[in-house]
Structure 1
Amino acid sequence: MSPVAVILTALPVEYDAVRPYLTAPEEITLSDGTRLERGPLEGTPWTVALAELGEGALTTAILAKQIINELAPEALLFVGVAGGLKDDLQLGDVVVATKVYAVQGGKLTPEGHQERPESWHGSHRLVQAARSALRELRPDVRGHRKPIACGDVVLTDPDSDFAARLKRSYNDAHAIEMEGSGVAHAAHLSRQLDALVIRGISDFADPGKSAADSSGSQELAAGQAAKVAIAVLRKHQPAPEETPGPIYTGDHIDFSGGTFHGPVIGKQSRP
């Protein structure tokens, strides 16, 4: 059976950017009713399952965990758009999340909001694949390997209290979006699953967001993020298949007082 990589998206524009890379995708339905399209990624060993989950980290976390449980993927990518937080970003740039912050936890005190952040690091293997892929995609893609902030907030006011909190407590975050922490948390609960968040910059988290979106910036950003995601999967190799191999279970004493080697059972990795 081919190894499975899952690509999750929130919005139709994000889904539509990834789908053309799948060869003859077929629709599948999970036990909870979640629908995905699944097809081979040409030129790789991967079968890619693609889903559109809707907005919000909570929904993403729940559905991502269901998808992981039923499809048992080796890699999980969240691909979509985000608002840029740094002056050196341009529309269509792609941020590969070395770290994902969940930014809304905290404690309200008379002295103000005290942060209680959570964070998850991107898979080392996938981040390394992304570094290599981004080098090869230059100059068609401007890539950044930086942290991303995640909260159930659409930020359009750079002077708001929330924006000030981001600058004060998450100053290394290069983008803000809504679902990455849900994916990261689901992957964290699934043991050794490799996961990565990849976001294209479609606006700058300011009052110009609506104008940027209407100009086609979301299509541009989603397309660039999808291009990076596919390049990452082309670089990333599935884990070696396991085949039956010896595991020594110890010596045993027979009834005549002699000893014999116990049976060999279990699996070992194929070299």
Structure 2
Amino acid sequence: MPPFRSRLAALAFLAALAGAPPARAGDVEPRLVLVPPTAGDKVVALTFDACSGAFDKRIGDYLVANAIPATIFVTHRWIRRNADAMATFTARPDLFQIEDHGEDHIPAVTDRSFVFGLKTAGDLDTVKAEVEGGAAAILAATGVAPHWFRGATARYSTDAVAAIEAEGYRVAGYSLNADVGASLPEKTVARRIAAARPGDVVIAHINQPGRPAGAGVVDGIETLRTAGWRFVRLDDVEAVGK
């Protein structure tokens, strides 16, 4: 089995992986990997963000048709606009684990005003409201309380991470950024996913049906599936990170 990349990789490496500028001092972009149960086990966790916008049925229908499990991070804002998509997820609890992406997709950052053009929380009270609002919406929609949180942009100030964890949530990092906010071309996304290493936690987006990235997500997963890879949700195996 190829060796795992460092569990605490430098922020500069994480930024290069994500195709984004380095996080500013004091901010973090957490990394998360799986611990496969046996050496050489070709296993990855697929995680999808549903920030706002619509539902990419190309991805959703493919996952259902091929019985591929995934962890879906949804905002309350997305839930309100996509009742049919939530019905798709809740109808298959054997496949989909629904986790918290926040109330209104506000970055959990307190030490600057904007991250990638999004207005940040600015203070810990707003961070907690973002987490709790998203969690309440998920509980209402699914009957199951979430226990993972992934903030908008996946960037956090260190005090926000501590506050989120103090509320009992695990912060969901990742190790393979498949689509960089659904901004990449189809073939690039497919290549990124197809190049996954055992234990990777893949992040992609399931809320941009009008962009080419979604087709690349399907193609990349299909490459892994036909090569005998196993797909898991975050709660299916041990996950370790910062």
Query: Normalized against structure 2, the TM-score is what?
Result: 0.29
Over alpha carbons, which structure has the higher Rg?
A: 1
Higher helix share: 2
Higher relative contact order (CA 8 A, sep 6+): 2
Query: Normalized against structure 1, the TM-score is what?
Result: 0.27
Higher strand share: 1
